[in-house]
């Protein structure tokens, strides 16, 4: 996933869609940093997107492949420090909070308006609008696809064989994990895939645990946002993580990619995962039975909790980075990539990882009739629809407190490091919690000082 390939456009010089419209000098390249990689993605970049761009523009293009959450941010930081940032970086708003807070992302309202003319309103657009005050309607990322984080994925065939019910509470989830783990019928399968990586999936999962404990990192008080992250809600999360660790492969080993690989191999029977993402790699690996038996449900809640939301939903998008050499070209590339000629194809490269950000894409005949959605009478399309109809309404929370400063703090993965300290380093939970609170307070003050939007 971290392999780099440079695709250099020769520049056909022909009059095309974007002729005369580019914002940068034609001598400056368009540098794209992306985690959209792997065989299918790289073939589509090389065979479709790059040649199409070359037909329309004289601006040369450099596509650099980065890994999932963690690897890409490190590479982006290196490029920023060197004074040579890429024009584009594929990420969720939560992963680019530092750029937003420091005023390094451009307002891309014009691009999104053009795309909405083609596809209709952007779903959950507020997750792409991180500013407040008179900037609250500014869009700072171009939509790629919807991530629904509040999903429990489970093997329905395993549940059926062992007589298990979909859990509604943490106690029921832990009990299911124990039964699967101790089952003679599924000897090689662990009960739960628990992530405690110090960055990446560990933090994503922790936020869902915290929501379903009844808490959050931030709360609003008199119009101001302040740190919440209280002991009443955080400590029960650490308790349940310690319980589940008994029934999981090594939590330090389970980031995004490893979780996918373990799931496809049948290494555990339950985990948290965005969308029905696990079904796609299972289909790609020829494990159709695993894909079809991978079902989704709301993440269970702590007994007696009153959650502010049951998880998170975000639109994964593409910020155009200010200070890059050719931001105008980046905007036009996104008009091409997400316009009428490509957006449906782009959505079908990883159709279970991302749900399209426009109903116009989802409802198109080309999308609905895709080969993967014909399997088992449309079972995989039904999984996506179930998530949108049944899970998302419990997660959509535009009222949750957020600001560029809080998004900046989120990039430091404090919650992921907290879980890692307790589960991997075996630090005392009370001490680890105090460390996390101190760290949040320190980073929040620093983020306020760094704010430049």
**Averaged pLDDT of the chain:** 92
Which range of residues forms the domain containing residue 343?
30-146+315-375
Residue 11 is predicted with a pLDDT of 28
Is there a contact between 30 and 329 (Cβ–Cβ < 8 Å)? yes
> DSSP assignment of 217-239, as one string?
SEEEETTEEEE---HHHHHHHHH
156 and 122: one domain? no
**Cβ neighbours of residue 117 under 8 Å, at least 6 residues apart?**
none
Q: Is residue 56 part of a domain?
A: yes
User: Cα–Cα distance between 217 and 177 in angstroms, integer?
Assistant: 27
And the tokens for 382? Answer: 């039904």
Flag whether pLDDT at 17 surpasses 50. Answer: no
Q: Is residue 134 part of a domain?
A: yes
Average the pLDDT over 352-375 and give the result: 97
- How far is CA 48 from each of CA 51, 55, 91, 328, rounded to the nearest angstrom? 6, 11, 22, 21
Rg (CA), the chain: 22
Give the pLDDT confidence of 279-335 residue by residue, as tens digits. Answer: 999 999 999 999 999 999 999 999 999 999 999 999 999 999 989 999 999 999 999
Structural domain total, the chain? 2
Q: Is residue 21 part of a domain?
A: no
The maximal CA–CA distance of the chain, rounded, in angstroms, is: 68
**Cβ neighbours of residue 75 under 8 Å, at least 6 residues apart?**
33, 64, 66
423 and 276: one domain? yes
And the tokens for 89? Answer: 């970086």
User: Cα–Cα distance between 158 and 164 in angstroms, integer?
Assistant: 8
213 and 337: one domain? no
Average the pLDDT over 153-178 and give the result: 99
Q: Is residue 389 part of a domain?
A: no
Q: Which of 344, 375, 406 is the last residue of a domain?
A: 375
And the tokens for 95? Answer: 């992963």
139 and 166: one domain? no
Backbone phi, then psi, for 329, in 5-degree steps? Answer: -65, -35
74 and 182: one domain? no
278 and 211: one domain? yes
Give the pLDDT confidence of 48-79 residue by residue, as tens digits. Answer: 999 999 999 999 999 999 876 557 888 998 99
User: Cα–Cα distance between 347 and 352 in angstroms, integer?
Assistant: 9
Q: Is residue 173 part of a domain?
A: yes
Flag whether pLDDT at 23 surpasses 70. Answer: no
96 and 120: one domain? yes
**pTM exceeds 0.85 for this model:** yes
**Cβ neighbours of residue 219 under 8 Å, at least 6 residues apart?**
225, 226, 228, 401
Residue 95 is predicted with a pLDDT of 81
**Cβ neighbours of residue 51 under 8 Å, at least 6 residues apart?**
none
Flag whether pLDDT at 253 surpasses 50. Answer: yes
212 and 242: one domain? yes
Which has the minimum average pLDDT: 28-37, 66-75, 388-397?
Answer: 66-75
Q: Is residue 384 part of a domain?
A: no
163 and 255: one domain? yes
276 and 302: one domain? yes
Residue 69 is predicted with a pLDDT of 59
Q: Is residue 126 part of a domain?
A: yes
Q: How many C-beta neighbours within 10 Å does residue 19 have?
A: 12
Is there a contact between 179 and 191 (Cβ–Cβ < 8 Å)? yes
Q: Is residue 20 part of a domain?
A: no
Is there a contact between 301 and 222 (Cβ–Cβ < 8 Å)? no
- How far is CA 451 from each of CA 75, 92, 100, 218, 301, rounded to the nearest angstrom? 22, 19, 9, 18, 35
**Cβ neighbours of residue 92 under 8 Å, at least 6 residues apart?**
127, 147, 314, 315, 316, 317
290 and 438: one domain? yes
Q: Which of 346, 375, 404 is the last residue of a domain?
A: 375
Task: State how far Cα 395 lies from the chain centre.
Answer: 15
CATH at 335: 3.40.190.10
- How far is CA 447 from each of CA 2, 107, 231, 439, rounded to the nearest angstrom? 30, 21, 23, 12
Flag whether pLDDT at 91 surpasses 80. Answer: no
155 and 261: one domain? yes
Give the pLDDT confidence of 197-213 residue by residue, as tens digits. Answer: 998 899 999 999 999 99
């Amino acid at each position: 996933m971290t392999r780099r390939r440079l695709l250099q456009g020769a520049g056909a010089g022909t009059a095309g869609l974007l002729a005369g419209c580019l914002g940068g000098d034609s001598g400056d390249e368009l540098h794209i940093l992306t985690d959209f990689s792997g065989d299918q993605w790289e073939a589509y970049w090389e065979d479709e997107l790059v040649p199409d761009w070359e037909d329309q523009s004289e601006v040369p293009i450099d596509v650099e492949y980065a890994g999932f959450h963690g690897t890409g941010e490190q590479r982006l930081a290196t490029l920023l420090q060197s004074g040579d940032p890429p024009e584009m970086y594929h990420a969720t708003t939560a992963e680019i909070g530092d750029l937003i807070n420091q005023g390094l992302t451009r307002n891309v309202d014009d691009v999104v308006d053009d795309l909405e003319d083609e596809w209709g309103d952007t779903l959950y657009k507020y997750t792409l609008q991180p500013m407040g005050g008179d900037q609250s309607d500014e869009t700072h990322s171009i939509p790629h696809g919807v991530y629904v984080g509040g999903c429990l994925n489970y093997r329905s065939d395993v549940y059926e064989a062992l007589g298990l019910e979909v859990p509604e509470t943490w106690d029921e989830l832990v009990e299911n994990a124990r039964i699967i783990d101790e089952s003679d019928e599924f000897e090689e399968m662990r009960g739960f895939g628990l992530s405690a990586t110090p960055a990446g999936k560990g933090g994503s999962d922790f936020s869902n645990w915290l929501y379903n404990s009844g808490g959050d990192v931030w709360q609003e008080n008199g119009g101001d946002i302040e740190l919440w992250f209280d002991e009443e809600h955080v400590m029960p999360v650490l308790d349940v993580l310690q319980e589940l660790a008994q029934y999981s492969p090594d939590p330090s080993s389970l980031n995004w990619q490893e979780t996918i690989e373990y799931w496809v191999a049948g290494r555990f029977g339950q985990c948290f995962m965005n969308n029905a993402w696990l079904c796609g790699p299972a289909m790609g690996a020829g494990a159709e039975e695993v894909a079809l038996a991978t079902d989704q449900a709301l993440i269970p809640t702590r007994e007696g909790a009153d959650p502010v939301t049951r998880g998170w939903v975000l639109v994964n998008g593409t910020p155009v980075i200010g200070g890059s050499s050719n931001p105008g070209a980046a905007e036009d590339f996104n008009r091409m990539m997400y316009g009428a000629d490509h957006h449906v194809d782009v959505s079908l490269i990883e159709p279970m990882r991302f749900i399209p950000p426009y109903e116009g894409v989802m409802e198109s005949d080309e999308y609905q009739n895709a080969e993967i959605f014909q399997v088992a009478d449309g079972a995989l399309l039904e999984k996506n629809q179930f998530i949108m109809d049944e899970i998302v309404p419990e997660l959509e929370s535009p009222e949750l407190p957020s600001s560029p400063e809080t998004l900046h703090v989120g990039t430091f993965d404090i919650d992921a490091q907290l879980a890692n300290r307790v589960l991997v380093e075996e630090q005392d939970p009370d001490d680890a919690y105090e460390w996390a609170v101190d760290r949040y307070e320190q980073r929040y003050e620093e983020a306020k000082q760094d704010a430049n939007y």
